[in-house]
Amino acid sequence: MRMLVRSRSLLFALFMMVMSVTSFAQVAVTISFGPPALPVYEQPLCPGEGYLWTPGYWAYDYNYGDYYWVPGTWVLVPEVGYLWTPPYWGWGGNGFLFHEGYWGPQVGFYGGIAYGYGYFGHGYEGGLWNHGHFYYNRSVNNINVTNIHNVYNTTVVNNTTINRVSYNGGQGGITAQPTAAEEAAAGERHLPPVAAQTQHAQVAASNPQLRATANHGKPPIAATANPAAFSGSGVVPAKAAGAPYHPPVNRAATQPAAGNHPVAQPPSSNHPPTGSTERAAVPHTGNAPAARPENNVPRPPTPTHAKDLPPHPQPTPPNTGNAEMDKKGQQQQQKLYAQQQEEHQKLVQQQEQDHQRAAQQQANAARIQQMEQQHQQQTQQMEQRHAQQQQQLNVRQAPPSSHNEGRPPAEKH
C-alpha cells in the first residue's frame, strides 16, 4: 500500500512538472498580424428553443501559418440563465493573442467587436432570460414563431460606428475598453465552450476552404444552423468579405515554426479550458488596451478527475400547479439524476484503474500527461453532457407559454 501511495505521488509530481512546461510553452505564442475583417453573412434559422447564437470568428492554425473561419452557429445553452461571451483577438504588446469565449450568467468583455445579431460590441441584445425561459428578440434574430413562441420585438439602437474589424488594439484595431459590468462579469462562474463547439471549431480547422488565404476573407461556409453540420440546407455562405484581405508576404517567417503548436480555438483535450491560469501569465506591455479582465482573475481550474467534481444537488421538484404533471416530472428528474450519478461513479472507478495501471507499469512522464489530458477531457465532456441533458429535460417539462411577440418580458435576468 505504501508503495502504491509513493507511486501515485511520484506520478502526480511528474504530471505537474510536465503540465507546467506545456502551459508555459503555450503562453508566449502570439501572431504578428491581425485576422481578416468579419465577413458579411445571413444568420440561419434558429433550430429550436434553448439555442443561443454564437457568432463566427477567425481562429489561427500555426501549422499552416494562416487564419481560418469558424462559422457562426446555434448552440444549445449548457445551463439555464447562461449567456455566451464570444472570443476575440487582442493586441498584447508584441502580437495578437486569442481570448477564448465562455458561458456565464452575464456577458463579459469581447473586445468591442461588432459581431452582429445581438453582439454589437458590448453585451447581448439578441434575447434575455425570464423565469427559466429564454426570450428571443426577433429584430436581430432569425426566428420561426411557429416553433418558438418566447419572442419579442425590440429595435436595437446602436450608437457605435459599425465596422467589420475583428480584433482589439494594434494598428487599425477596435479601441474599446471593458465596462464596469464586464469587469464584474469576469469574476462570476464560467463554463468553457461545450463539446459541440469544440468539435465545430475542429471541423472548421480541417477544411482548407475556410483558410483566409484560400477564401480571401469570404468563407464559403459562414454560418450553420447546427454545430459541425457543414453541409445541407442550414449552411450559409458569406455574401462578401468585410474588407480586402492582404496578409503580410513574409508572415511565416515571423510566426513560430510549424509542428507542435496548438490551434487557436476553443479548448480540446490538448488545450487548457477557459478559466485556467495560462492566459494570466501572458505579458501585456506598452500602451496596449486592457487585457480581457477574466484572464487576470485567478479561478480554480476545471477538475481533471471525476472524483474531484463537487456533488450535484438533488433536482428541484417541479411546481407547475398540475399535481399529476409534477409527479411525472419529478420521476423523470429522479431517473435522470440516478443515471448521471451512476455514470459519474463509473468514470471515477475507470480513472482510478488507469492510475493504478500506470503506477504498476511505471509509466513515463509523456504517458502520464496523455492519460491526465484524457481524464480531463472525459470529466469535462461528462459535465457538459449532464448539463445539456438537464437543460433538455427542463425544456420538455416547461409548461406551454403564451405567445409573447411584440412585448419583452417584464423581468430581466
Q: At what angle do helices 323-361 and 365-397 cross, to 10 degrees?
A: 180
More confident position, 385 or 90: 90
State pLDDT tens for residues 332-379.
888 888 888 888 888 888 898 888 888 888 888 777 877 887 787 788
Whether 292 has a pLDDT exceeding 70, the answer reads no
The whole-number average pLDDT for the span 252-256 is 46
Whether 404 has a pLDDT exceeding 60, the answer reads no
Question: Binning pLDDT at 50, 70 and 90, where does residue 238 land?
Answer: very high
Whether 60 has a pLDDT exceeding 70, the answer reads yes
Instruction: Tell me which range, 251-265, 271-285, 287-301, 303-317, is most confidently predicted by mean pLDDT.
Output: 303-317
Contact of 135 with 143, CB cutoff 8 Å: no
Question: Binning pLDDT at 50, 70 and 90, where does residue 225 land?
Answer: very high
Contact of 369 with 304, CB cutoff 8 Å: no
| Predicted pLDDT of residue 251 | 57
Buried/exposed code over 344-377 (b: 16+ C-beta within 10 A; e: otherwise): beebbeebeebbeebbeeebeeeebbebbbebbb
Q: Would you call 306 helix, strand, or coil by DSSP?
A: helix
Whether 27 has a pLDDT exceeding 60, the answer reads no
The whole-number average pLDDT for the span 11-37 is 55
Q: State pTM to two decimals.
A: 0.61
